[in-house]
Amino acid sequence: MAELLDGKALSKSIRAEVKKEVASLVEKTNKPPHLVVVLVGEDPASQSYVRAKNRACERAGIKSTIINKDESTPEAELIDLIRTLNADHDVHGILVQLPLPKHMDANKVIDTIEQNKDVDGFHPLNIAALQIGTPGVLPATPKGIMTMLESTGQSLEGKKAIVVGRSNIVGKPVLQLLLRKNATVTIAHSRTQNLADEVKAADIVVAAVGRAHMIKGDMIKPGAIVIDVGVNRVDDKLVGDVDFEAAKANASYITPVPGGVGPMTIASLLQNTVECYKILET
Ligand code: GUN
């Protein structure tokens, strides 16, 4: 029976460490780290994520501002706002909540964010740094996933890992981070043939496809570590991409949904904000 990877508890201890570090930095600089979150439109899920980020910042002593823009805001106006925030010495982190309305080009908007204020790690220069292995801001969810894997104390070296999902936000960056740990990594996606066989061969499974219970319990190799990034609403309940109840019989470690990867994303965002602050202020 698997041991639970409790993202809520791990996130709490990371947030406590961040709070301590922020307090000691502010003692020296007299200036708190400041994250600005830009939300365009009124998508309820995005509003709820943004509120959670705001609350976590404030609890850690990080100043947090939410800028709400109307759904119909022209792209040029959003880009102007980002340029203003780039130039503002009191702003250390800029996060544009995704998805953006259809009339905007998200890549163009993200390209505008100053690299050292890109707390999401989505800027092309940060993505390039991740690829090459040079210093840069890591995207929050992948960073949180790696922190969870490290918390197991298990070496990833030479292990077979499969990442199910090839998004720019999760799948592709997780591939790079697992490679850094010398895992042998496969990326599976919607066109992958014999997904079950691919997953069955893996010692580490990262599921990030966004389809409820797509990964069945009998696909999990005995002793595998299972990280479930999925958040799917089924009959008013949140469930992951992995059939948790069945998979936990085979896995050595498994993340729950909710309470697994989700809270780690916020902890990583706070770490990234402090990282950007240190680059800009110290
Ligand atoms: N929307 C869903 N996840 C994320 C994230 O990590 N960052 C941003 N900016 N938007 C998101």
* Protein residue closest via CA to atom 4 of ligand 1: 98
pLDDT of residue 255: 98
pLDDT of residue 262: 96
Taking the CA atoms of residue 244, residue 229, residue 171 and residue 176 in that order, the dihedral angle to the nearest 10 degrees is -90
Residues 6+ apart with CB under 8 A from 93: 33, 34, 35, 36, 117, 119, 272, 273, 276, 277
- Alpha carbon of 98 to ligand 1 centroid (Å): 5
pLDDT of residue 153: 98
Q: What is the pTM of this model?
A: 0.96
Q: In what order do the strands lie in the sheet with 93-96?
A: 63-69, 34-40, 93-96
pLDDT of residue 91: 98
- CB-based pocket (< 6 A), ligand 1: 95-98, 120, 140-141, 169
Annotated catalytic residues are: 53, 97, 120
- Alpha carbon of 201 to ligand 1 centroid (Å): 31
Q: Judging by beta carbons within 10 Å of its beta carbon (0-12, 13-18, 19+), is residue 30 exposed, middle or buried?
A: exposed
* Protein residue closest via CA to atom 11 of ligand 1: 98
- Alpha carbon of 141 to ligand 1 centroid (Å): 9
Question: Which residues are paired to 206 by β-bridges?
Answer: 163, 227
* Protein residue closest via CA to atom 8 of ligand 1: 97
Q: Set out the domains of the chain in order of their start, with CATH numbers.
A: 30-115 (3.40.50.10860), 140-262 (3.40.50.720)
- Alpha carbon of 263 to ligand 1 centroid (Å): 13
Taking only the tens of pLDDT, the chain with its 282 residues reads 899 999 999 999 999 999 999 999 999 999 999 999 999 999 999 999 999 999 999 999 999 999 999 999 999 999 999 999 999 999 999 999 999 999 999 999 999 999 999 999 999 999 999 999 999 999 999 999 999 999 999 999 999 999 999 999 999 999 999 999 999 999 999 999 999 999 999 999 999 999 999 999 999 999 999 999 999 999 999 999 999 999 999 999 999 999 999 999 999 999 999 999 999 998
Instruction: Find tokens 């925030």 and name the residue.
Output: 85
Neighbours of 272 (CB within 10 A): 23
* Protein residue closest via CA to atom 2 of ligand 1: 98
Question: Which of 37, 50, 66, 169 most suits a substitution to test ligand 1, by most atoms within 8 Å of the C-beta?
Answer: 169
Q: What is the DSSP string of 240-261?
A: -SB-HHHHTTT-SEE--SSSSH
